[in-house]
Amino acid sequence: MQRIYFDNAATTALDPEVLEVMMPYLTEKFGNPSSIYSYGRETKIAIETARKSVAKILGAHPGEIFFTSGGTESSNTAITAAIRDLGCKNIISSPIEHHATLHSVEYWGKQDGLKLSFIKLDETGHVDMESLRALLAASTERSLVTLMHANNEIGNLLDIKAVGELCKEYDAIFHCDTVQTVGHYPLNLKEINVHFISAAGHKFHGPKGVGILYVNENVSIKPMINGGGQERNMRAGTENLYGIIGFAKALEIATARYEQDSAYIQDLKNYMKSRLETNIEGISFNGDCNGRCLYTVLNVAFPKTEKTEMILFNLDMAGICVSGGSACSSGANAGSHVINSIGTNLNQVPVRFSFSRHNTKEEVDAVVAKVKEFI
């Protein structure tokens, strides 16, 4: 049975070109980057070359880029640093953040002397900017604002520049989870008032287990992990050498292919939306799918029936990979916290289809035919 993979928001296939540049560092170029002899020097140079490449693409300085294990570590580190090192006592977030952020702010919100507030959302799930302004204005303590650039379940895009300017007005620290957008949109961090961003390589055809934390040069934080002097004394531990090489290469490829890939994937998403509307009665779409929304994500709301409640299982049995929400919580039985928070239609079965350059319209046709057959 040939599988059809429509869950690219969860992870993407490793690009063969990325694997090719990683392979030497999995085999003959195995030196520890902290070693002073030639094996170590060549791998240290490779890491710094990768850092410079990532920084240039993101409009940052190399000294602002720290390699981590992925988006979860990066977001947790940024939130902790803002509270521990930058004097933030008032935490502002939204109820539809990825659990890497949501569970972190919920933990800190229970600590003495800290306050956690959630921004109101509009009917499509976008952040209400007036609600954000009101929460910032009401605080007598320095605030941390932590909001995702694009929601991983419904695809809504944040106006990152507007949020950054509002944070600047109130001297707030701004952390943005850009896991779903780095590698999918051009970002110039010189033009955005943001103090931290998080990213993960496996979201744009890079390797798993590697990400970045951008730390703006105007803020000073304490080490993330204590030990050796790696990552300029900020994150101890021998570097994920081949992962770092792969991250940089994947970002270079994604940046070079942005125009053609984004147009192709957007067309594919629109095609699937049209085919579903034509063939399946009673469906709707979660989030702002026709407006400020990821071109890679389509969240479909099927009316809840005995047949639609089995749709994920049946699609899986047919070799079709999709999800009901975040891959990190796919085993949970409480439903999607994102769909529950926006409350557009609770009597629904949400299914997230997410696309990459490897998908085709023929695959869309096959999936729509299967969905029609099941329900």
Full residue range of the structural domain in which residue 27 is found = 16-256
For residue 212, the model assigns a pLDDT of: 98
Let me know: does 311 contact 367? Beta carbons within 8 Å. no
Are residues 71 and 173 located together in one domain of the fold?
yes
Shortest CA distance to 250 belongs to which of 67, 71, 54, 63? 54
Q: What pTM value is reported for the model?
A: 0.95
For residue 1, the model assigns a pLDDT of: 66
Are residues 93 and 160 located together in one domain of the fold?
yes
- Asked if the model's pLDDT at residue 332 lies above 60, the reply is no
Are residues 156 and 245 located together in one domain of the fold?
yes
Are residues 252 and 331 located together in one domain of the fold?
no
Are residues 138 and 267 located together in one domain of the fold?
no
For residue 334, the model assigns a pLDDT of: 59
Q: Which is catalytic among the residues 167, 176, 321, 328?
A: 328
b/e 304-317 (16+ beta carbons within 10 angstroms → b): eeeebeebbebbee
Distance CA 160, CA 311 (A): 35
Are residues 173 and 227 located together in one domain of the fold?
yes
Q: Active-site residue 88, yes or no? A: no
pLDDT tens-digit series, residues 55-66: 999 999 999 999
Burial class (CB in 10 A: 0-12, 13-18, 19+), 232: exposed
Distance CA 183, CA 206 (A): 10
Residue with tokens 């869309």: 364
Are residues 138 and 243 located together in one domain of the fold?
yes
Distance CA 200, CA 211 (A): 4
Last residue of a domain, one of 256, 272, 296: 256
- Asked if the model's pLDDT at residue 329 lies above 90, the reply is no
Shortest CA distance to 345 belongs to which of 296, 301, 305? 301
**Number of compact structural domains in the chain:** 2
Are residues 55 and 171 located together in one domain of the fold?
yes
Last residue of a domain, one of 230, 256, 282: 256
